[in-house]
Amino acid sequence: MSATELPERTPEWWIYRGTGHPLQDTYLADRLPPPPPWRDFRRDGEQLAADLPQDDGEIERRLGAELNFTAGGPDRAELDMVNAALYLRRPLLVTGKPGCGKSSLAYRIARELRLGRVLRWPVTSQTTLRSGLYDYDAIGRVQASAARTAAAGESGAEEPPIGDFVRLGELGTAFLPRRLPRVLLVDELDKAESDLPHDLLSIFEDGEFLVPELARDARRSPVAEVFTADPGHTARIENGVVRCSAFPVVVITSNGERDFPPAFLRRCLRLEMKDPGPEQLAAIVAAHALDPQHRAVLIEDFVARRAALGGLPADKLLDAIFLATSGAYQPGDPGWPGLVEALWQQLTQQGH
């Protein structure tokens, strides 16, 4: 059996199986064994939130309906590495061509393991560690304090709670203490400045971070209630320290456009994703409930064009099939070949 072939019997140690179907009649906490001692962030007697913010429709928008990989699903390497990351509580660095499904992996894990809303942290050249951890609106607090003082007159007024002006970012929210891990997608780390992978090492190793503004205010208010990256949700932070209990499921995507420092790579498990094959593309199309008419021919054409161009995102196939089956265009239309050429050529003209 090659490294990419699935075994005849599913290994018992696999929790994530890549089926696209949520776990039934069981929860991840019941199946996942304790972490290695050197990756155990749990604390005796710690009060943990048991519920997870529910997905707001983003998973279905990204993946469509529940996938059913009965004919050619994820390869063995993907399943092995995702499960190893779950067991070892390590980040998973996923590399591959643009559009091969790296980001979708985080949403598939969240759906299958029933881990709620995915925290997506999109990385740009301006992204810093602090921007991922939290934001403190110092100016807003000063203005609110001045407004309260003016309204109260010379007698003064109580300062507004500092927590009203702190919002945890996606990275910071992922490390809040919970019984079940959050899924954190660190999207396109290639775009970051060279310092960011180094800066991430501390939180990946320690499982905690400090909000200095809250720590300085802890003598007066040891507990602060702050906003999180989940809309409408808040969290209580004691003494300015955020400590995880269940290390998050961290999926870091990279297009392979740069090298990462050895110290960063040592702390990650690595997965190279391949372009989805015809069976996987058919499953993706079916998951988005697109009409099967002309689907097989378009998939065949897409695979051939992708090979000729050296890569093509799967969402370009979805665009073509949607147009072909929505009544806007039909493959027999004289303008159809030119439209497909434009859809499937545009990306290469942009330097991808």
Listed by start position, the domains of the chain span 30-131+166-272, 278-349
Task: Give residue 351's pLDDT.
Answer: 39
Contacts for 195 with CB less than 8 Å, ≥ 6 apart? none
CATH number at 30-131+166-272? 3.40.50.300
**pLDDT tens per residue, the chain (352 residues)?**
444 566 667 788 999 988 878 888 778 888 999 999 999 999 887 878 778 899 988 988 888 876 655 445 678 899 999 999 999 999 999 998 888 889 999 999 999 999 999 999 999 999 999 999 999 998 988 888 888 777 766 555 678 899 999 999 999 999 999 999 999 999 999 999 989 999 999 999 999 999 999 999 988 889 999 999 999 999 999 999 999 999 999 999 998 888 899 999 999 999 999 888 878 787 777 777 666 666 777 888 888 888 888 778 888 888 888 887 776 666 667 777 788 888 887 554 443 3
Q: Are strands 269-272 and 119-122 parallel, antiparallel or unpaired?
A: unpaired
Task: Give residue 287's pLDDT.
Answer: 74
Task: Give residue 352's pLDDT.
Answer: 37
Task: Give residue 348's pLDDT.
Answer: 45
Q: Are strands 269-272 and 134-136 parallel, antiparallel or unpaired?
A: unpaired
**Sign, CA torsion 151/154/160/165:** positive
CB 113 within 8 A of CB 290: no
Task: Give residue 192's pLDDT.
Answer: 92
